[in-house]
Amino acid sequence: MGTRINAYEFGRMTINGKTFSTDLIIYPDERIQADWWRRQGHELVPEDIETLLETAPSRLIVGTGANERMSVSGDVMTRCRERGIGIEVLPTHDAAKRFNEAAEEVPAVAACFHLTC
């Protein structure tokens, strides 16, 4: 996989040299969806990532924010398990590092990141 997170700091993430300042999704085909917004604000629900789940990633890394303010609903965890998608939920700083590691370990890694709180 050629996508690499170069840096993360509160409110900013640099991916392959391009800096983003909004929450985002990285798809397994390396597309980046900037300006990602969740229906429930600080809670991730299945509808927020349905398009992502349809791409059938083998692993999903979720960055919950610098202060872990974004929670992941039990329905997201269940939906991932039902589809055979491994999911890791971490503070965004750790999730960025984990994404880079996972991208080298397994095919079809995806991620969604809350960049602020």
Q: What topology is assigned to 5-113 in CATH?
A: Hypothetical Protein Mth938; Chain: A, (3.40.1230)
DSSP state string for 20-83: E-S-EEE-TTS-EE-S---TTSSEE-GGGGHHHHHT--SEEEEE--TT---EE-HHHHHHHHHT
86 has a pLDDT exceeding 80: yes
Look at residue 106 in the predicted model and tell me its pLDDT: 87
Tell me the per-residue pLDDT of 97-117, one tens digit each, with 9 for 90 and over.
999 999 999 889 999 999 999
Do 26 and 32 contact (CB within 8 A), yes or no?
yes
Token pair recorded at residue 8: 């993360």
Amino acid making up residue 65? G
Instruction: Answer whether residue 1 shows pLDDT above 70.
Output: no
